[in-house]
Amino acid sequence: MTPRLAVVGVGLIGGSAGLAARGRGAAGHVVGVGPNRATLERAKERGAVDSFSTDLEGGVAGADLVLLAAPVPRILEQLRELAPLLKPGAVVTDAGSVKGEIARAGADALGPAFVPGHPMAGSERSGIDAANADLFDGATWALTPTPQSSPDAVETVRAFAAALGARPLMLDPDAHDRAVAVTSHLPHLLAYALAATAGRAAADGNPHLFDLAAGSFASGTRVAASSPDLWQGIALSNRDALLSALDACLGELGAMRAALEAGDADTLLAALRRGHEAKRDAPTR
Amino acid sequence: MTPRLAVVGVGLIGGSAGLAARGRGAAGHVVGVGPNRATLERAKERGAVDSFSTDLEGGVAGADLVLLAAPVPRILEQLRELAPLLKPGAVVTDAGSVKGEIARAGADALGPAFVPGHPMAGSERSGIDAANADLFDGATWALTPTPQSSPDAVETVRAFAAALGARPLMLDPDAHDRAVAVTSHLPHLLAYALAATAGRAAADGNPHLFDLAAGSFASGTRVAASSPDLWQGIALSNRDALLSALDACLGELGAMRAALEAGDADTLLAALRRGHEAKRDAPTR
């Protein structure tokens, strides 16, 4: 049990962590930190935090564990601000969607105290009102210790993730980033691109377009409801891995396009089968 | 009420139509037609048909309404076989995912008796065991009458779709095909491509890849579980419209790629916002 937990950023992820930590007895006291007083008051109303502060210094003072749950660019700033504000022995983790850049910045700024993390849970909804205590239940919570992370700090964060109902998974920050480029960041780009394509086609003289959308369009564009600002930051923070993933996917689409244009039924079928078999063989999650 | 309905192809769509027609009193007697006796027996067991026949001639004899619910290439063959087998005044419709080619073939072969259709309902599951009586409830059922379709035949098919719980929508076959290229066929290609990209990345030394897949990957690849053979046929039957839709989407992805590579945050954000706004403004379905 963490005596005092500071959650910096009380949106979907931070708010859910507060709700889960309080609900499951994983923290004795939860302090919410963020720039917006109304959001912090709403987090308190919802039971996600016991108290709150609009400044980082006041919020993390005395905390045993600090969870940074702001957008990635803000986490990078906070890592540089935190060092002088922490009590001795405090551990810092984060919930950023990209780990390489954060791991390097956090190791530089906080050394042994920092253990980067990423709960693989989320929603196209965002904000404190979307938070829920069961968000992490059964979800993978990636932990990507840096060469400087102390074993005690790693164990503190591992135990915290498990106490929230998640399954902690240790891996290298760059392996994490290459994986989520394919399993999370690329699916977001595809969803935004599909939605934009449909928006243009509907505007371009196809008034019944959305009447003819069934399940595949709803699934394919679900996460285009996510915040473009948030995903801009994530994409740029994972630029190289995401470019590789996108190029691999453009290669698959290009193969389909060439086969379709040539009327080459066998090559088209082979391309579709590659996807079908990968889906069939993938674990459920 | 249709006294005698013949459903040719008792998979997900045909089986669900039989279940819905029998359950809602939309047909007096439902005959299932298909090449596979075991499938037809299973359809009878499930209550989707009252009787069945493994040959088209025996199955459609005496039918007032014939629903062709086989894969698109098979529907095109059946349209040419049906003319001499129908009783006078019989009406024929179909549930094929592509309408231009089917409308032309059906008008040539059956003239006033043929009214092409496409219920906008489906699932990544297929076959009689996935059929259910509520599949069409509230779904759009596109009807794309040909210049030859008789008004009586159109009304018969419209009333049948409505009796199954669907919302009939009349439109031009080519407008239909341009719309579903964007709202259905393109999402399938993207799902297959995303799944194939992940399969290759996992095989290529990223063993934790699927542990790091959360909701966006599940949604983005859901329909890659669909039959590649079925979708090969659909894609080739709607080649030109699908190529246009795919090229528009590749244009969106290309714009994102260029902005990402250049680190051009504003252009990337603009591209993501186009998708976000189209999703936000799209009707729910």
Write out chain B residues lying below 8 Å of A252, CB-based: 192-193, 196-197
H or E element in which residue B256 lies: helix B239-262
ipTM: 0.86
* Each residue's pLDDT tens digit, A7-29: 999 999 999 999 999 999 999 99
Coil, strand, or helix at residue B206? coil
- CA A156, CA A2: separation in Å to the nearest integer? 8
Task: Choose, out of A101, A183, A219, the residue to mutate when testing the contact with B (most B CBs < 10 Å).
Answer: A183
For A119, nearest residue in chain B (alpha carbons): B212
Sheet order of strands, B117-119 included: B117-119, B140-143, B167-170
Beta-carbon separation of A200 and B272 below 8 A:
no
Q: What is the pLDDT of residue A284?
A: 59
How far apart are the C-alpha atoms of B267 and A204, rounded to whole Å? 22
Q: Say what the pLDDT of residue B285 is.
A: 46
In a mutational test of the A interface, the residue from B190, B242, B256, B277 whose CB has the highest number of chain A CBs within 10 Å is: B190
Which residues of B fall within a CB distance of 8 Å from A245?
Answer: 197, 201
CB B71 within 8 A of CB B230: yes
Min Cα distance A33 → chain B (Å) is: 27
CA dist B278 and B285 (Å) reads 13
CB atoms within 10 A of CB A36: 12
Minimum Cα–Cα distance from B278: chain A residue = A199
- Residue B215 has its nearest CB partner, among A123, A246, A248, at A123
- Which of A140, A180, A252 is nearest residue B197 as measured by Cβ atoms? A252
B25 CB-side CA count, 13 A: 0
Residues 6 or more apart whose CB falls under 8 angstroms from that of B61 comprise B85, B87
Give the whole-angstrom CA distance, residue B193 versus residue B214. 18
Q: What is the pLDDT of residues B68-105, one digit of tens each?
A: 999 999 999 999 999 999 999 999 999 999 999 999 99
- Ordered strands of the A51-53 beta sheet: A51-53, A27-33, A2-8, A65-68, A91-94, A114-115
Nearest Cα to B224, choosing from A278, A189, A188? A278
Which positions ≥6 away from B209 have C-beta within 8 Å?
A179, A182, A183, B198, B201, B202
Percentage of chain B with pLDDT > 70? 99
Task: Give A221's contacts in chain B (Cβ within 8 Å).
Answer: 187, 275, 279, 282
Partner residue facing B216 (CB), from A187, A239, A280: A187
Contact across the interface for B213 and A243, Cβ inside 8 Å: no
In whole angstroms, what is the distance from residue B268 CA to residue B147 CA?
Answer: 46
Which residue, among B182, B231, B237, would best test binding to A if mutated, counting the most A CBs under 10 Å from its CB?
A: B182
Q: Collapsing DSSP states into helix, strand and coil, what is residue A54?
A: coil
Residues β-bridged to residue B29: B4
Taking the model in full, what pTM does it have?
A: 0.87
CB contact under 8 A, A206 and B178: yes
- pLDDT recorded at residue B143: 98
Residues of B in contact with A250 (CB under 8 A): 250, 253, 257
Q: Which of B72, B244, B246, B253 to mutate to test the interface with A (most CBs of A within 10 A)?
A: B253
Q: How far apart are CA A113 and CA B58, in angstroms?
A: 78
For B25-68, the pLDDT digits (tens) are 999 999 999 999 999 999 999 999 999 999 999 999 999 999 99
| pLDDT band per the 50, 70, 90 thresholds, residue B284 | low
B180 in helix, strand or coil? helix
The secondary structure of residue A170, as a DSSP letter, is E
Closest approach of A208 to chain B, Cα-based (Å): 7
Q: How far is CA B208 from the centre of its chain?
A: 35
d(CA B14, CA A1): 57
Q: Is B226 helix (H, G, I), strand (E, B) or coil?
A: coil
Is the pLDDT score of A285 beyond 50? Answer: no
Say which amino acid occupies B72. Answer: V
Rg, chain B, Cα only: 21
Mean pLDDT taken over chain B: 95
Band the pLDDT of B206: cuts 50, 70, 90: confident
- The residue type at B154: V
